[in-house]
Amino acid sequence: MEFFNSKKFIMIIVAVLVAIAVSGCAKKSLETQGPKQPTTIDSVGKMKSIGAIIGCVFAPNDPECIKLKQKTQDNPHQTQQEYNKQITEEFNQADKDIK
């Protein structure tokens, strides 16, 4: 019982409490939260596509809708290499247009 009344015991308890308090204040890593929420810029960038799709719901015989249907039937999916090539060509064309 004399150990619990000693200054050494009190100092140990204080040190443990300080260590707990300091470790509780550390910033936790938030990288594993899951997929990123879309921003306003991401949403605005998709407005043209969304408008075209909604338009096709109400006017399926519109020439633009027929073109979209034909495009998806001809090539429903791209490989990663095809996508990278297409994006590179679009960026190169944009660079030429800027100059």
Residues whose CB falls within 8 Å of the CB of residue 51, separated by 6 or more in sequence, listed in order: none
Query: Which whole number is the average pLDDT over 82-93?
Result: 90
pTM check: above 0.75:
no
**Residue pLDDT, tens place only, 8-60:** 888 888 999 888 887 776 666 666 666 777 777 777 777 888 888 888 888 88
| Residue bearing the bigger pLDDT, 99 or 91 | 91
Q: CA–CA separation, 80 vs 99, rounded Å?
A: 29
Per-residue pLDDT at 38: 75
Q: What separation, in Å, do the N-terminal and C-terminal C-alpha atoms of the chain show?
A: 85
pLDDT category at 89 given cuts 50, 70, 90 is very high
